[in-house]
Structure 1
Amino acid sequence: MTPSPNSAHPVAPDVPPPVAESSAAMCGAPCWVSLMARDLGAALDFYGAVMGWTFRPGSLGEEFRVALADGVPVAGIGALAPSLQVAVAWTPYFAVEDADITAARIRERGATVAVGPVALQKGRGALAADRDGAVFGIWQGPLVTNWEAWRDRAPAWTRLHTRDAFDAAIFYGEVLDWASRRPGCCEVRYEHEEVLLSHCGHIVARLASGAVEAAPDPGLRPYWHTHFAVKDPRSHIEKARAHGATVLAEGTASSGPWVRLSDPDGATFTLSADG
């Protein structure tokens, strides 16, 4: 039975339920992506039909589900409080050792912590926006799945579209301890006009310049954009349209074809070839 998201509940980030692996082991790396939907049942129907995902309950209550692709946890989907008038969007979460220290660093550098840090099950999470307005989350504690398997299989990855990728890399590097030479920290390098974030040789995020802070089109403003890896992105187009999605763009990259979609609630994401 699909839970009803219509009852009011505290607004909190949809974060991983606890298992054995901790955020401290991959400090600064993306460790999860989540969607807060206005109609949870409709979101589950859409992503189940278009992506072929199945869902299991999360540990945060009836308003949350963990999406599985071939049995592997991919993402979280939760119900957004009806009274909250915000854009529905996919949000990446970054692993941190101490959410309170990270939140203080965010504020010290002129960015915003919108929610939290709050205690959720055995961890702590927060939602923030960087200095250019791109929304992201932080998570301290046990993760939903074996992170290295999630990283290596790459069911989801994220790219920051921002005003200045180098400036953004400095901000996130200071906040998330990138390139700090600490055990488990991420490395940063420049390649093909992007800043690449890697962990143990695996690319886990990309930062690209070109977004315009005051652009009237939200898709041109700074934001983190989630990519889901699928075998054939174009094979999902007709099914997505049939279930209320809008095809925003499609093309071919060095890794293969890609398709950018907007779900019926307005959340954008890209399907990329998994190679």
Structure 2
Amino acid sequence: MKSDGTLRSEVVTSHSVCGAPCWVSLSTRDLKAAEDFYTAVLGWQWHSGRRMGDQYRIARVNGVPVAGVSEVDFVAKTAVAWIPYFAVASADETVSRSQERGGTTAVGPISFAPGRAALLADRDGAVFGIWEGELVSGWEAWRRAAPAFVRLHTRDAFDAAIFYGEVLGWASATPGCCQVDYEENEVVLRSHGDIVARIHSGAVEAAPDPTIRPHWQIHFAVSDVEACARAARAHGGTAHQQGVGSTEAVLSDPDGAHFTVTSKIGA
């Protein structure tokens, strides 16, 4: 209870969902164009990320923060991409474990007002982030509001699962850690009973196409996949559907960042 008599909202930290995806962030070369595109396609509303500076914007769904978008320097040729962030108990220890197992560190760990973050890549070059500290919108609220799950397309799903398991503490004795299973030729990650990630073999390590190279793909749950595909095409992006009535479509925004819209949660 606060001093004014109102209820204090419960603070959820990365410790309670350790190893699970807890945030997604987009890097783009045109912040305004990205806002317009994702508003049209996913219906997002936008607010400034005051703690992160003027070049970072927070997307919301029904008032719940669901994703971050940052503007990157075109001259520096920073990659344009959607990146998942995983909750960890210690950013410093996680970075060390990644490096010991052949991963690389692009940024961090660096401190922000609510926690610490780092940007890493696994042994096959798939980029991911880690976050230690307070979660922006809790976890359950974030899960309900927009992202369905994330999927890693990689060269060897089992090898990748070993790497991430050791780095992020999957299937460990840590309270609240994620469970790992093998279903339908994929490695499946669950947190608190929900499917939150899948790892799929098939990406080519040296492929020129970024959708074929090892990468994490963000899947957003939507009510109408075809409507999202039409909106993407109408606002300068692309859409690839499996057919009329498909439950899933791979879209790209005008800057080339790929993501998936799906009507199947955790599929």
Given candidates 257, 260, 267, the residue that maps to 1:270 is 260
The 3 A distance-change label for structure 1 pair 189 and 91 is same
Provide Cα deviations, 1:44-84, integer angstroms capped at 9, x if missing partner. 11111121110111121111111112322221111113332
Q: Distance in 1 between matches of 2:144 and 2:170?
A: 19
- What CA distance in whole angstroms lies between the structure 2 residues aligned with 1:152 and 1:195? 23
CA distance in 1: counterparts of 2:154 and 2:249, whole angstroms: 20
Which residue number corresponds to residue 121 of structure 2? 129
Which letter maps to 1:164? D
Could you give the per-residue CA deviations for residues 191-216 of structure 1, whole angstroms, max 9, x where no partner exists?
01110000121101000001110122
Match of 1:39 in 2: 30
Whether 1:101 aligns to 2:93 is yes
The structure 2 residue matched to 1:85, chosen from 51, 59, 77, is 77
Is 1:51 the counterpart of 2:32 in the alignment? no
1:27 shift after superposition:
0.6
Q: Is the 8 A contact 2:55 2:70 kept in 1?
A: yes
Is the partner of 2:109 in helix, strand or coil? strand
Provide TM-score, normalisation by structure 2: 0.91
Letter in 1 for 2:251: L
- Specify the alignment match of 1:233 in structure 2: 225
Deviation at 1:250, TM superposition (A): 3.2
5+ residue gaps in structure 1?
1-18
Alpha-carbon RMSD across the aligned residues, in angstroms, is 1.7
What TM-score, normalized to structure 1? 0.88
**Residue pair 1:34, 1:92 contacting (<8 A) in 2 also:** yes
| Structure 1 counterpart SS, 2:211 | helix
Compared with structure 1, are the counterparts of its residues 238 and 264 closer, same or farther at alpha carbon in structure 2 (3 Å cutoff)?
same
Change (3 A) 1:154 1:198: farther
**167, 176, 200: which is aligned to 2:168?**
176
* Contiguous gaps of at least 5 residues in structure 2: 1-9
- For residues 112 and 74 of structure 2, the distance between their equivalents in structure 1, rounded to whole angstroms, comes to 21
1:149 aligns with one of 141, 144, 149: 141
Report what 1:14 is aligned to: none
Cα distance in 1, alignment partners of residues 65 and 130 from structure 2: 18
3-state SS in 1 of match to 2:27: strand
